[in-house]
Amino acid sequence: MSSSAFYIPFQSIDFVKEFLVKKYENLHLNNAQSLAYQNGYSFLYYLEMGKQYVDQAAVAPMATRPVLLFYGCVQWMKACLLTVDPEYPGTTQVLAHGVTARKRKKQGYAFWEDEIKVQKEGLFPYFSDRLFHVKQLTGEKYTMNTLLRRIPELAPVIERMFGSPVLFPLTRSDRSSSVSDHLLKTLEMDVPRFDAWLKSFGLPSSSTKTKGQLDIISDNRIEDHPFLTTRDQQGVSWLPAFRTDYLPLPELMCHYLILYNLSMVCRYETEWWCELLHTFPGHDYPCIHAFLNTTSVKLPLLIERVLSSD
C-alpha cells in the first residue's frame, strides 16, 4: 500500500478544514470553525512532509531508511496531535522526542537487546496521553525485543528464529473473543488467574476452556482496549504470549520507539550499522530488515486509524 492511500482526500484544503471542524466540534470547542481555518494548512503540510519522507524511504537503501521513516512518522504524529490540540505545539517541551537511547554502545552490542528510556516531556509521552489516553511513566525502559514482539507481522520471523510463538490471534464471535488455550501455558496461568490478569487492565471477564480454545466473555471487547491487543493489516487482533510484553504501548508507539532507536544507531553508530548491513551478525539483521519492510507499509495504516477514530 502506498503511503498516499489515506492521504489523498487531505490534498484538498477544503476537505481538511471540514475534517478539523468535526474534530474540534467533538471536543466541544466553541470556535471550531476559526481553529480549523487557523490549522488547516499546518495539518496538510505535516501530512505532506510525512508522505515525502515515507515515499523516499521506499526507494532508499536500507542504510538510510530508518531516518526517513522516523521523520515521516514524526510529521504524521504532529498532524494527529492537531486534531486533539488545536494549539499544538503549545510549548517547546512537546517538540522534543520524549525518549532517549544509550549514548555509548557496549562491546558486544546487540540491537535486539538494546533499550530506550521515556522522558518526562516530549512527543512520545504527549502523543500517548492525548491520542490514546495512555500515560507513560518517566524513566520507564523498553527493550527492542519486547517492542518488536508486539508487531503481528513480525511474529512469523521471530517465532522461526527463536522457536516459540510471541503472539496469539483472537477470533471474535457474537458474545466472546477466543484464543488458543496455549496462551495460558506461555503466561503460566490458569483460567481464574487469567481473568484476574485481565481485570487488572480494566477488563472484567469470565473465561472458559473448550476444545483447545480459551473463550473470553467480557462486557468490554478485549480488542477495543487501547494497548492489550495489536491488529495486523487484515484487521485480526493478537494477544502477547508473554507477561513481559503486556506493555502500555499502542502499536504506533512501538513503531515510533523502534524507529527512533534505529535512526540514532544508523546516524551515530556508523561502524556497527555498516557492519550489520554487510556481515549479517547475530539475529539483528533479519529482525531489523523485517521491521523496516513492515513499518513502511503499516505506518500509513496506523496513522489512518488514529485520524479515523472519534
- In angstroms, the Cα distances linking 154 to 55, 168, 280, 293 are 22, 12, 18, 10
Q: Which of 179, 177, 144, 157 is nearest to 254 (CA)?
A: 144
Mean pLDDT of 115-119: 95
Peptide bond into 204 cis (omega under 30): no
What pLDDT, in 10s, does the model give residues 36-60?
Answer: 999 999 999 999 999 999 999 999 9
Q: What pLDDT, on a 0 to 100 scale, did the predictor assign at position 2?
A: 47
- Whether the CB-CB separation of 298 and 153 falls below 8 Å is answered with yes
Distance separating the N- and C-terminal Cα atoms of the chain? 24
Mean pLDDT of 247-260: 96
Residue 34 binned pLDDT confidence (cut-offs 50, 70, 90): very high
- In angstroms, the Cα distances linking 99 to 31, 275, 282 are 34, 26, 26
Q: Which residues contact 34 (CB under 8 A, 6 or more apart)?
A: none
What distance in Å separates the CA atoms of residue 23 and residue 27, rounded to the nearest whole number?
A: 7
Mean pLDDT of 95-102: 91
Q: Which residues contact 169 (CB under 8 A, 6 or more apart)?
A: 179, 236, 237, 238
In this structure, which long-range contacts are made by residues 220-225, counting pairs with CB atoms below 8 Å and at least 24 apart in sequence? 221/172, 221/177, 222/170, 222/177, 222/198, 223/170, 223/172, 223/177, 225/201
* Proportion of the chain above pLDDT 90, given as a percent: 74
Q: What pLDDT, on a 0 to 100 scale, did the predictor assign at position 297?
A: 93
Mean pLDDT of 253-261: 97
Q: How many CB atoms lie within 10 A of CB 286?
A: 15
- In angstroms, the Cα distances linking 100 to 49, 103, 116, 257 are 24, 8, 6, 10
Look at residue 268 and tell me whether its pLDDT is greater than 50. yes
Name residue, grid cell 542504510: 63
Look at residue 160 and tell me whether its pLDDT is greater than 60. yes
Decide: helix, strand or coil at residue 86: coil
Q: What pLDDT, on a 0 to 100 scale, did the predictor assign at position 105?
A: 67
- 50 burial via Cβ count (<10 Å: 0-12, 13-18, 19+): buried
Rg, the chain, Cα only:
20
Indicate the Cα dihedral angle 231, 235, 237, 241, nearest 10°. Answer: -60
Look at residue 4 and tell me whether its pLDDT is greater than 70. no
Query: What does pLDDT average to over the chain?
Result: 92
Indicate the Cα dihedral angle 29, 35, 37, 43, nearest 10°. Answer: -110
Residue 308 identity (one-letter amino acid): S
Which tops the pLDDT comparison, 280 or 153? 153
Indicate the Cα dihedral angle 41, 42, 47, 50, nearest 10°. Answer: 140
Read off the pTM: 0.94
What pLDDT, in 10s, does the model give residues 162-180?
Answer: 888 999 999 987 778 899 9
